[in-house]
Every structure is written in structure tokens, then in C-alpha cells.
Homo-oligomer: A and B are copies of this chain.
Amino acid sequence: MTTSRPNKTPEDWWSTSIIDMKPGMIRVRGYAIEDLIGNVGFAEMVYLMTRGELPHPAAAKLLEAALVSAVDHGPQAPSIATARMAVTCGVGINNAMASAINMLGDVHGGAGEQCVSLYNAIAERLGGAAATDSRRMVEAVTLEINALAQQGIRHVPGFGHRFHPIDPRAPRLLELVDGAAKAGVVGGRYAAIGRAIEAQIAERAGRVIPMNIDGATGVIFAELGFAPPLCRGLFVLSRSVGALAHAFEEMQSGERNKGPIPRHLTWSYTGPPAREVPGKLE
């Protein structure tokens, strides 16, 4: 998605192909906003805004499933806890949502993006080979997992979960991808890649470490051709819904200045013992 940059005048400091506006007119990627409202769904709008074209309706449904799947993971998740704490501190709901999504860095929220990068790398190694070419697939997967290991990345992003032995969201998402591939809406190449990774991890580890939400949404995003940074943003959009819901609920509770843990729980202090400030005035 390259932005063409014609010679701009100094007044044209910003340049975008997303939106055009004149008084009384708003066009998004060329479409009049009043024609989009009520005619395209939210997932289609997300696709149009980020990709530049309206998607095939069935592709939109896949994207929508991915957006629905990641909205919440409970108050233990840093993003959700932050949203709840924030409203008890008296900030606005937009600030609570902002604080929540500001948490979605490479570790808490980055796995979907990292998965798609991994899937893309494997797809590139596969080149023109069929996804059913086991030898080529195993080879491509092996090389890329090894490459991760060399970067010190021990856990393949998208697989395994600290809380769920099997992440209940992943099989359902894959089922939808399989259906879309059967209908010819997507190619199915990335679903095959994801499964091949899962198989190889199981071999190496001696036990199944199943695909998780990031691995599964990553399959959808890759099938739909979303670049990795956009995948992070799509996870953020999804998790924003949970942030909003939890922030609003906490707002209703009337709690004030709620810290992360009950006050009767302490923290472990591991610093120097009590000592005097040198030269302090008595």
C-alpha cells in the first residue's frame, strides 16, 4: 500500500489516499460516506479503510470472525485490567481505552503480527510448491522455526497458551477458514502452513502445543493478505471492545482509585535496609 506522492505544495503537508473531503463531501477511498453507511458492514469498512478496496462479502465474514474472537480475555489480561483501573482513577472512558490498548505491545498483543510474519516467511520459502507438498512444507517450516530459535525465540508465536490447554477460539476460527477455502473464497495455503507448524512443534516437543487465538486469527489475516503491522492493529480494534465494556462496567461499580491488587496483599521488598540520609539537616 504505497502512497503516491505527487509534488506537494507546502500547504499539502499531509498526503493520503484514504479520505477526500470538501465542505459537504466525504469520500472514503472514492466512495461517498453516505453511500457506505447502511450498505457496508463494520468489517467491510475496516477492510476498505486499511486495504483500499471493498472485500468479497465472504472474506468480510472471515475478518469479522477474527475481530469478534479477540475482544476479551478477562480482568487478568493487562489490557483489560488497565481499562478497569483507569476509570476508578477518574479519567474519561476514551483515556481508559487508550491506556488499555497502549499495553498491546510485542508481548501482549504482538503474537498475531509475529505469526503472520512467520506464515509469510514460510509461504515465501514454499514459493510455487503446492501446500500439499509435504516435503517442501516440512522443509519450509523447519527452516523458519530454526530461524526463530536462532533469534532466541523459544516459543513459536501462535501456539500454546499459558491458561488454556486448548484455546477454545482457535478450532472454530480454523473451521471457518476451511469452509471459506472449500468455497474458494480464500486459498487455504496459510491454514495448511499453520497446521504444518503445529505438527512440527508436536514432533519437536513430544506433545501437542495447539494453535491459539493469535495463530488462528493470524491464519485469517494472512489468507486475507493483511500486512503484519495491520494485524496488530486489527487485534487492537478487537480488544478495544473488551476495554470499553470492562471500563464501563467498572465505572458503574463506584470504586475509586482501585489498584491492581487488594490492599491487604503486600509486595515483596528486596532493597536496602533502613538507612540514614547522609548530611541531612536535623
Contact = CB atoms under 8 A, between A and B. Distances in A.
Residue among A42, A242, A276 with max Cβ neighbours from chain B (10 Å): A42
A49 B196 CA distance: 34
B268 A12 contact: yes
Interface stretch (A31-39, A129-137, A141-149, A181-189): A31-39
Residue among A13, A28, A65 with max Cβ neighbours from chain B (10 Å): A13
A229 B76 CA distance: 24
Nearest to A175: B38
A107 B16 contact: no
A114 to B, nearest CB: 11
Interface size bracket, A side: 35 or more
Contacts of A264: 10
30 contacts: A1-B252, A5-B253, A10-B265, A13-B265, A14-B268, A16-B246, A17-B271, A18-B72, A21-B73, A37-B69, A38-B173, A38-B175, A41-B43, A45-B67, A49-B244, A50-B241, A50-B248, A54-B278, A81-B259, A81-B260, A89-B107, A90-B110, A91-B94, A91-B102, A93-B232, A94-B232, A95-B95, A97-B233, A230-B248, A237-B237
Interface of A: 1-6, 8, 10-21, 23-43, 45-46, 49-50, 52, 54, 61, 64-65, 67-69, 71-79, 81-82, 84-86, 88-95, 97-99, 101-110, 162-166, 168-169, 171-173, 175-176, 227, 229-230, 232-234, 236-237, 240-242, 244-249, 251-253, 256-281
- In order of increasing CB-CB distance, the 10 nearest A-B pairs are A17-B271, A260-B260, A90-B107, A90-B106, A30-B272, A91-B105, A90-B105, A89-B108, A12-B268, A98-B102
